[in-house]
């Protein structure tokens, strides 16, 4: 069977069922507000959003691989490009670009050109330090962990905090080799 | 007669999370199916280590006198394999379809616990449709 390359994010995005964008945005907003009420601490909310994203990511990765027809990436650079070019397009309908690679090629920034989660959102003064879209960090972390990459994903720029763009930092901590947890002579 | 005898899905630790047989040929009880699943998991792992090819991802097709076994492993480590009649065609494509159904109807079900046995009606339903379609296509050829 001939190997086919990955499908473009646009093509997949055009083919999936969609819901009204406002319903999506408002649902996410309601979740964040409820978390703020329940947990009270902004720091705790950030943590909870990350955890929720992680749980989503561990499931979403298979859909991403299946629908986008992706084969193994040769290095972390290709992985980051895949997330930005195919992943964000496929699930959020936005384009993202990868910048700021460090010399080892293990840390980069992903810049979102648009962010549908924050339409209508204005952060009140009481929510300083809240990473409103922290769920996205968790999704990327969870997804990469399922393909044996331990990463740390954080927001470095957030328009809601007064910056001029949305920028995520993805740092590869270690690649867990897919070996079996026993030695041959044991 | 059906081209496919049975379908297995095993999680990344080698546990059988889904088994279904089609038609009478090759039907087995729960114990046998569990045994086949863990045997295949180990054989697959051993084949990866024995292979002279660097970066080998394990056995994809096992051809025997009375059956073929096609296996597809996702990058996340879940294995899907079908036992079918010798020479049955388009099994890779069918496994891909099954993988997509698994992502849609199993993983997206919020009440499904990861790595646990699959008990999702929607998955069963869509799976039988996919297999049925494959059979109809086969009869048409």
Say whether residue A63 is in contact with chain B using an 8 A CB cutoff: yes
Q: What is the pLDDT of residues A53-92, one digit of tens each?
A: 999 999 999 999 999 888 888 899 999 999 999 999 999 9
| pLDDT at B122 exceeding the cut of 80 | yes
Closest CA to B88 of B123, B64, B59: B64
B43 vs B26, higher pLDDT: B43
Domain count, chain B: 1
Q: In the 3-class helix/strand/coil scheme, how is B20-32 assigned residue by residue? A: EECCCCCCCCHHH
User: Contacts of residue A58 in chain B, CB cutoff 8 Å?
Assistant: 114
Confidence of residue B57 (pLDDT cuts 50, 70, 90): confident
Buried/exposed code over A108-135 (b: 16+ C-beta within 10 A; e: otherwise):
bbbbbeebebbeeeebeeebeebbbbbb
B116: domain CATH number is 3.30.450.70
d(CA B136, CA B141): 9
d(CA A162, CA A140): 24
Q: What percent of chain A has pLDDT over 90?
A: 63
Measured distance between the N- and C-terminal CA atoms of chain B, rounded to whole angstroms? 14
Q: Which of A97-111, A132-146, A167-181 is least confident?
A: A167-181
pTM value surpassing 0.80: yes
Say whether residue A52 is in contact with chain B using an 8 A CB cutoff: no
Q: What percent of chain B has pLDDT over 70?
A: 92
d(CA B137, CA B141): 7
Angle at A142 between CA A77 and CA A139, to 5 degrees: 85
Q: How far is A165 from chain B (nearest CA, A)?
A: 31
Mutate to test the interface with A, among B57, B71, B75, B108 (most CBs of A within 10 A): B75
Minimal Cβ distance to A58: which of B99, B100, B114? B114
Q: Are A55 and A143 in contact (CB under 8 A)?
A: no
Contact assignment for A67 to B74 by CB distance below 8 Å: no
* Residue B98 confidence (pLDDT): 95
Confidence of residue A182 (pLDDT cuts 50, 70, 90): low
d(CA B82, CA B68): 8
* Residue B1 confidence (pLDDT): 42
For residues B15-23, give the mean pLDDT.
91
| Token pair in block for residue B80 | 């899907």
Contact assignment for A65 to B75 by CB distance below 8 Å: yes
d(CA B78, CA B71): 11
What residue numbers bound the domain in which B70 lies?
A: 4-140
Q: In the 3-class helix/strand/coil scheme, how is B61-113 assigned residue by residue? A: EEECCCCEEEEEECCCCCEEEEEECCCCCCHHHHHHHHHHHHHHHHHCCCCCC
ipTM: 0.84
For residues B44-62, give the mean pLDDT.
90
The residues, ordered by sequence, that sit 6+ positions from A159 with a Cβ below 8 Å of its Cβ are: A115, A118, A165, A166
Closest CA to A64 of A172, A178, A147: A147
Measured distance between the N- and C-terminal CA atoms of chain A, rounded to whole angstroms? 39
Nearest chain A alpha carbon to B72: A66
| Token pair in block for residue A12 | 């997949």
d(CA A151, CA B21): 40
| pLDDT at B81 exceeding the cut of 50 | yes
Contact assignment for A62 to B114 by CB distance below 8 Å: no
B68 vs A7, higher pLDDT: B68
* Residue A128 confidence (pLDDT): 87
Nearest chain A alpha carbon to B92: A1
**% helix, strand, coil for chain A, step of 5:** 50, 15, 35
User: Contacts of residue B76 in chain A, CB cutoff 8 Å?
Assistant: 61-62, 65, 146-147
């Amino acid at each position: 069977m001939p190997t086919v390359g990955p499908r473009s994010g646009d093509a997949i995005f055009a083919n999936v069922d969609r819901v009204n964008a406002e319903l999506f945005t408002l649902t996410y907003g309601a979740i964040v507000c409820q978390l703020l009420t329940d947990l009270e601490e902004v720091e705790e909310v950030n943590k909870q959003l990350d955890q929720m994203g992680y749980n989503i990511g561990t499931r979403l990765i298979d859909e991403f691989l299946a629908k986008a027809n992706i084969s193994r990436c040769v290095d972390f650079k290709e992985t980051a490009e895949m997330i930005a070019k195919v992943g964000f397009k496929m699930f959020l309908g936005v384009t993202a670009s990868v910048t700021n690679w460090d010399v080892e090629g293990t840390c980069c920034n992903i810049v979102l050109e648009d962010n549908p989660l924050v339409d209508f959102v204005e952060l009140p003064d009481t929510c300083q330090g809240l990473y409103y879209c922290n769920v996205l960090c968790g999704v990327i972390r969870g997804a990469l962990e399922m393909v044996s990459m331990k990463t740390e994903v954080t927001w470095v720029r957030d328009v809601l905090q007064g910056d001029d763009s949305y920028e995520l930092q993805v740092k590869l901590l270690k690649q867990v080799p897919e070996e079996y947890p026993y030695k041959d002579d044991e | 007669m059906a081209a496919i005898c049975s379908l297995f899905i095993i999680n990344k630790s080698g546990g059988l999370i889904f088994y279904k047989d089609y038609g009478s040929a090759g039907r087995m009880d729960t114990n046998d199916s569990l045994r086949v699943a863990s045997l295949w998991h180990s054989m697959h792992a051993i084949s990866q280590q024995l292979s002279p090819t660097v970066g080998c991802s394990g056995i994809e097709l096992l051809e025997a006198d009375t059956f073929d076994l096609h296996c597809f492993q996702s990058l996340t480590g879940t294995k899907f394999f079908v036992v079918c009649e010798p020479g049955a065609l388009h099994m890779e494509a069918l496994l891909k379809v099954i993988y997509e159904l698994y992502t849609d109807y199993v993983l997206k079900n919020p009440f499904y616990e990861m790595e646990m046995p699959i008990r999702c009606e929607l998955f069963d339903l869509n799976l039988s449709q996919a297999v049925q379609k494959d059979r109809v296509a086969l009869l048409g050829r």
